[in-house]
Structure 1
Amino acid sequence: MQIRQHVGSGKPAVILHPSGTVVTFDELEARANRLAHHFRANGLVEGDVVAILMENNEHMHAVMWAARRSGLYYVPINIHLTPAEAAYIIENSGATAVVGSAALRDTCAGLAEHLSVGLPKVLLIADGDLPGWDRYPECVAEQPDTPIADEIEGDLLQYSSGTTGRPKGIKRELTHLPPAEVPGLMKMLMSLWLPRDAVYLSPAPLYHTAPSVWSMQIQAEGVTTVVMEKFTAEGCLDAIARHGITHGQFVPVMFTRMLKLPQDVRDSYDLSTLTRVMHAAAPCPVEIKKQMIDWWGPIVDEYYASSEAIGSTLITADEWLARPGSVGRPMFGALHILDEDGNEQPAGQPGEIYFEGGNTFEYLGDTEKTAASRDSHGWATVGDIGYLDEDGYLYLTDRRHHMIISGGVNIYPQEAENMLVTHPKVMDAAVFGIPDAEMGQSVKAVVQTVNSSDATAEFGTELLGWLRERLTHYKCPRSISFEEQLPRTDTGKLYKQSLIDKYSAATV
């Protein structure tokens, strides 16, 4: 991928919201080139790894573009991790450079004591000072703003969110091709979905896969990306109205939070420029998506994919209205639904989702997990459960490791979670299994209310009754507890294990 062809256009490549900071394509190209020269001057070659510890700021895209055109893997690290957790990723990835920011100074400063091999040789910190680290971008100011002589395509080395254990590095083979020669399905999709005069909103942190990959591909198409420095529900509406957003990508929890805003607040923003939006990352409750389409119109498309890039599906809003709950048909890679013995499931029967013909990858340093992600045919899975209808449309059920077995019955908690968040007093919900002497596991719900005053035993009883009117009894929680905030990633994935540990301990 390249952005060089858009130099001289005068267009912004990045606009930060709400600060309004602008980085033009000319500036982004020059910054990326200077940093690429710095990487080469410090001995970084194709296949080396650059770790990035930055919030959404004006430097992050330049760092990613510099690494990508230098043949390097770049690893954006979750900014909420502790120094020990970030150090694990740096060491596991074999990073030879770290680029941090002043906002993450404490995390950067704490890395050394947790790295058994010592700090990487190249250490840069943006807009701040840290002993032993070079100040960026000042340290590259004398480097040429022209391309390095040996440009070659690098790639993202994404680490999973770690919701079920330590984060896993998802590594793909480099192409060994110059950037301009790299083929890509994303480029084809962008050219079809996104006109050159679009304005794209990226509301999620750039350390996640989709925000980084999509925003860079969109910049390669010459389209301005508005990056939210931090997502808030009303701030998102303000960004759309202020910048004339035409396209964007969201996750379901963002929809839920925007829908929970008071009606007068929602009505106060002009969203008429919206043309097409996409959502992914987690299953979207049917009722939530219906409400979004009622509000924004039939422009809410959806895709299903993973950081492993083994395959994907796509469904337009119009298709979805005819098949509520579906995530579409394969965009690339053939779909297979397999039972526990590896047999193909008929239409309507759930099983593990496998893709045939997708990208190959490895979980860095974990050959056992890499092998477990593939079956005897070489088809790949990330452990999601779903089924196909008669026309080949995919419906997600849940994650394999989220399944509850209560009294010998398999229960997928996503159904109860999806129903709970449609209650007007519920902001968020988690449903999971806890130990039960009689049943093996019992179904437990933890709820975050819109207003903290509703987090009462009386409302818990009311909510259980409300849910039992809408779901089969065995799928319903036996009890509901309340938390002020549920532990979610910025892309909406629940850290269920922390809740399971807490509430399982309470049963002992």
Structure 2
Amino acid sequence: MDNPYNTGLDRNPANYQPLTPIGFLERAALVFPDHTAIVHGAVRRSYAAFYSRSRQLASALVAQGIGRGETVSALLANTPAMLECHYGVPMCGAVLHAINTRLDAAIIAFQLDHALSKLVFVDIEFLPLLHEALRLCAARPKVIVYDDPEFDGPRMAHEAPDYEDFLASGDPDFAWLRPQDEWDAIAISYTSGTTGDPKGVVTHHRGAYLLAQGNALTASMAKHAVYLWTLPMFHCNGWCFPWTLSAIIGTHVCLRQVRAEPIWAALADEGVTHLCGAPIVMSLMISAPDAVKRPLDQPVQFFTAAAPPPEKLLADMKEAGFDVTHLYGLTETYGPAVVNDWHADWSALPPAAQARLKARQGVRYLPLEGLDVLDPETMLPVPRDGQTMGEVMFCGNVVMKGYFRNPKATEEAFKGGWFHSGDLGVIHPDGYIQLKDRSKDVIISGGENISSIEVEEVLYRHPAVAVVAVVAQPHDKWGETPCAFVELAEGQQADAASLKAWCRDNLAHYKVPGRFIFGPVPRTSTGKIQKFTLRDQARTLEKA
């Protein structure tokens, strides 16, 4: 039988408009035109100016022949131009491709070709890198150079159009294009490509709209919150925070480089209320000299989404006035879609117990419909015992459209009606999930599965350990055993024997690393530890 409530009650322009986060900026400029939207050095830009410049950018792109479904790339630092790209590019119907500025030329060339890029905005600092990439490209996108006055390094001579001149050619009253369908792509972001060519993750207007609001709700961001850009905007489109801030009429405080002095200065001088980053950013802030640190007039929310922060670091952050919340997500989920929602009574627990709870990734964001730990073979939920491992899976409106021009990878990722994260974890009786490893990072020793994260958590509790990564090392008898790469905390000392004894006191003996290697642990530009590099090193050491 037909549903009678569907008869004669159809969608029409009066009752249905495709969701898009671009409308957040339009509303902010209408309601609070004079409120400060962007702070960047001496620049203070209002919401009226932000909206006007974004429309100019869209208009200028249309004049260049850029239309719906075409790709515009951005090789930019955390600057006003990058924020304008997050609005101006989709305002003309195009798709934003934000490029990791730490990549090498060959990978950037691959992305430009694979994404079918028509135009690239590039920061003057990264122009030499782009030139090298373009020499390797089959495509020849148009180049526009953004000469940021806050950049104090050498400038490469060039003949490409200037960003401000390009912007000035556009119409500030341009009637921007809403998506024809909220399923239309808004951005393409590339995975790290550690196991092959990077995959292009396609996200849509609907998901960006929902996650942007989910950020504000999850982070308890009040109207006019002040957000410091320590998270790269190229990373999952800055976790959708470029759009979140317009929804709450907040202020973006841009930061070209993640350094302790400008971070502390911004926290104090601009009244920053929120920032995001990996634990390495916390360590950078806490280890800064006392002369650099500044007293804070308000508590600051810090959101981290990498490995669980060590207990001591969490304690130091709390003492300094920061409330740390653990998030979790992937490029394929628009950034964070899981939050360690804190219960008030947990704050009365001893610090060690609090640290264990904070190490959990948590529960689903409000705009995520499904989050579970499933057996990837049977697709059935694992027991909620905090012990049985399975694969973390997602479903809902903040899961990607799929991988661009890669139907096989898309089909595999969505097998069984869930997005397969590739992360292994457990689910606790209270429904909070906790990661135990990437599927490729599990160490199988003598037939026993060893969670590298479990070993790392034990080592992080040692006072001399600042950073640790545990990977598999080949072993003639056991197949493979754990190998620990360790960075010692400043002023601390430890050797392999003392760390091995520590592990024996806290782990089953078969989980204790057979080798400890001391020195800097390699990380990506977003603070993630490069375990694929460490696995190669461990294999090489075993052969030596």
Q: Do Structure 1 and Structure 2 share a fold, with TM-score over 0.5?
A: yes
- 1:330 to 2:364 alignment: yes
After TM superposition, the score normalised by the length of structure 1 is: 0.88
Tell me the residue number matched to 2:445: 406
One-letter identity of the residue aligned with 1:372: E
| Change in 2 beyond 3 A, CA 1:477/1:354 | same
* In structure 2, distance between residues paired with 1:407 and 1:432: 15
Deviations 1:153-194 (A, max 9, x none): 76121112334443221013556x9xxxx9525325526721
Q: Is the 8 A contact 1:335 1:356 kept in 2?
A: yes
Tell me the residue number matched to 1:186: 212
* In structure 2, distance between residues paired with 1:210 and 1:39: 20
SS at match of 1:302: strand
* In structure 1, distance between residues paired with 2:246 and 2:205: 21
Of residues 181, 185, 202, the one that matches 1:171 is: 202
Q: Is the 8 A contact 2:213 2:244 kept in 1?
A: yes
For the aligned residues, what is the CA RMSD?
Answer: 2.8
* In structure 1, distance between residues paired with 2:413 and 2:469: 26
| Change in 2 beyond 3 A, CA 1:436/1:421 | same
Residue 289 of structure 1 and its aligned partner are, at CA, apart by: 6.5
* In structure 1, distance between residues paired with 2:462 and 2:265: 26
Residue 201 of structure 1 and its aligned partner are, at CA, apart by: 2.0
Residue 67 of structure 1 and its aligned partner are, at CA, apart by: 0.6
| Change in 2 beyond 3 A, CA 1:30/1:404 | same
Tell me the residue number matched to 2:395: 356
Q: Specify every segment of 5 or more residues in structure 2 that has no aligned partner in the other structure, as ranges.
A: 1-20, 148-154, 348-353
Of residues 273, 289, 294, the one that matches 1:269 is: 294
* In structure 1, distance between residues paired with 2:209 and 2:78: 28
Tell me the residue number matched to 1:92: 114
Of residues 336, 341, 348, the one that matches 1:316 is: 341
Tell me the residue number matched to 1:425: 464
The equivalences for 1:438-453 within 5 A come to 438-451=477-490
Residue 57 of structure 1 and its aligned partner are, at CA, apart by: 2.2
- 1:12 to 2:36 alignment: yes
One-letter identity of the residue aligned with 1:500: R
* In structure 1, distance between residues paired with 2:113 and 2:321: 47
Of residues 211, 221, 239, the one that matches 2:266 is: 239
The equivalences for 1:60-459 within 5 A come to 60-116=82-138, 118-120=139-141, 122-127=142-147, 131=158, 133-148=160-175, 150-152=177-179, 155-173=186-204, 184-187=210-213, 189-190=215-216, 193-209=220-236, 211=238, 213-233=240-260, 235-261=262-288, 264=290, 268-280=293-305, 282-285=306-309, 287-288=311-312, 290-291=314-315, 294-295=318-319, 299-309=323-333, 312-318=337-343, 321=347, 323-331=357-365, 332-342=368-378, 343-348=380-385, 349-358=388-397, 359-376=399-416, 378-451=417-490, 459=495
One-letter identity of the residue aligned with 1:350: M
Deviations 1:214-273 (A, max 9, x none): 1332133210011222223454333212211122223233234434456x568x521231
* In structure 1, distance between residues paired with 2:255 and 2:510: 41
Deviations 1:410-469 (A, max 9, x none): 111112223333434333111101211111112111112334x868xx633333323333
Q: Is the 8 A contact 2:211 2:240 kept in 1?
A: no
| Change in 2 beyond 3 A, CA 1:251/1:20 | farther
| Change in 2 beyond 3 A, CA 1:431/1:21 | farther
Of residues 39, 43, 46, the one that matches 1:24 is: 46
* More off after superposition, 361-370 vs 434-443: 361-370
Residue 298 of structure 1 and its aligned partner are, at CA, apart by: 8.4
- 1:490 to 2:525 alignment: yes
Q: Is the 8 A contact 2:75 2:120 kept in 1?
A: yes
Deviations 1:349-408 (A, max 9, x none): 1210112334352122322222221232x1112111111122212122121111111111
SS at match of 1:420: helix
SS at match of 1:326: coil
SS at match of 1:23: strand
| Change in 2 beyond 3 A, CA 1:205/1:439 | same
Residue 86 of structure 1 and its aligned partner are, at CA, apart by: 0.6
Q: Is the 8 A contact 2:373 2:393 kept in 1?
A: yes
Q: Is the 8 A contact 2:373 2:433 kept in 1?
A: no
One-letter identity of the residue aligned with 1:445: A
Tell me the residue number matched to 2:15: none
Deviations 1:194-219 (A, max 9, x none): 11132122212111116251133213
* In structure 1, distance between residues paired with 2:93 and 2:61: 11
Q: Is the 8 A contact 2:326 2:359 kept in 1?
A: no
SS at match of 1:78: coil
One-letter identity of the residue aligned with 2:489: V
SS at match of 1:222: coil
| Change in 2 beyond 3 A, CA 1:130/1:48 | farther
| Change in 2 beyond 3 A, CA 1:236/1:51 | same
Q: Is the 8 A contact 1:398 1:414 kept in 2?
A: yes
Q: Is the 8 A contact 2:245 2:252 kept in 1?
A: yes
Residue 277 of structure 1 and its aligned partner are, at CA, apart by: 3.6
Q: Is the 8 A contact 1:105 1:130 kept in 2?
A: no
Q: Is the 8 A contact 1:204 1:211 kept in 2?
A: yes
| Change in 2 beyond 3 A, CA 1:242/1:163 | farther
Residue 285 of structure 1 and its aligned partner are, at CA, apart by: 3.7
Paired residues in the alignment total 491
SS at match of 2:295: coil
| Change in 2 beyond 3 A, CA 1:476/1:272 | farther
**What percent identity do the matched residue pairs reach?**
25
After TM superposition, the score normalised by the length of structure 2 is: 0.82
| Change in 2 beyond 3 A, CA 1:108/1:148 | farther
Of residues 48, 53, 56, the one that matches 2:75 is: 53
SS at match of 1:269: coil
* In structure 1, distance between residues paired with 2:78 and 2:322: 30
| Change in 2 beyond 3 A, CA 1:106/1:447 | same
